[in-house]
Amino acid sequence: MDSELVADWLKKKNVRGVFTESFGGSLQIKDRSFQVVVQYVLTEMKDRNKEVMEVVEDSVGAGRGTVAGMKWMKNPQHWKQGQRYAHLILTTTNRMVENAMIREGVVINGQRLRVRKLEADLRRWRGHTTENCKDSLELCGTYASSTHTTAKCPVRDPDNFVCMNCRHEKRNCNHASWDRMCPVFLRHKDNLMERQPDTRYKYYPGDE
């Protein structure tokens, strides 16, 4: 169980079935997944998931089914009218394939696109992200106001931005909550890197 060869062996359906049955059916084996971001994909590819995944597999010489899933980084419902490009998240269970994508890029619609490792999910507000928030009151991430959402914020002057995270911790809050240099955000990022050292690297670490 301590080598990638054994892990690949266990991924075979017939082997996995026999292995789990030997534990009385109480054991489940879940594949580890690896995710990357493909940058600036044409939005016209939105409803062509199968085609996109197969084209990506071909561009890095991977077999069918290597790319296990894909989703747009930003929900297409929230795209701007007429938006032509968006970032795409691809998931595989093969670390070496993911690293090849990061190293070489991928070809979609005849264009070679840059690929980077997906950053670990950081909790942006009191331990959760927007999509997991159970509060019915949505605060503006730019001005920390409950009278409007971030998308409809009328505040444009950075000198008037207010960070809800820093305000909650009684810190200097003269920046937006989405600011990547926010002290609270940076602290959480450092903590995450301490817990998950792999996040420091451009590639997924391995033996090769």
Instruction: For the chain, give the mean pLDDT.
Output: 80
* Position 178 pLDDT exceeds 80: yes
Q: How far apart are CA 160 and CA 84, in angstroms?
A: 31
Mean pLDDT of 98-119: 91
N-term to C-term CA, the chain: 18
Mean pLDDT of 140-147: 87
The pLDDT of residue 148 is 86
Torsion 198-201-204-206 (CA) sign: negative
The pLDDT of residue 77 is 81
Domains and CATH numbers, the chain: 1-30 (no CATH), 35-116 (3.30.70.330), 130-197 (no CATH)
Return phi, psi of residue 146, to 5°: -95, 0
Res. 103 pLDDT band, cuts 50 70 90: very high
Mean pLDDT of 33-55: 92
Long-range contacts of 104-109 (CB under 8 A, 24+ apart): 104/60, 106/38, 106/55, 106/56, 106/59, 106/60, 107/55, 107/56, 107/58, 107/59, 108/38, 108/41, 108/42, 108/45, 108/52, 108/55, 108/56, 108/59, 109/42, 109/44, 109/45, 109/55
* Position 134 pLDDT exceeds 60: no
* Position 112 pLDDT exceeds 60: yes
β-bridge partners, 90: 36, 70
Summarised one tens digit per residue, pLDDT across range 115-129 is 998 876 655 555 555
Q: How far apart are CA 7 and CA 200, in angstroms?
A: 24
Torsion 172-173-175-178 (CA) sign: positive
**What 3-state DSSP class applies to 24?**
coil
The pLDDT of residue 94 is 85
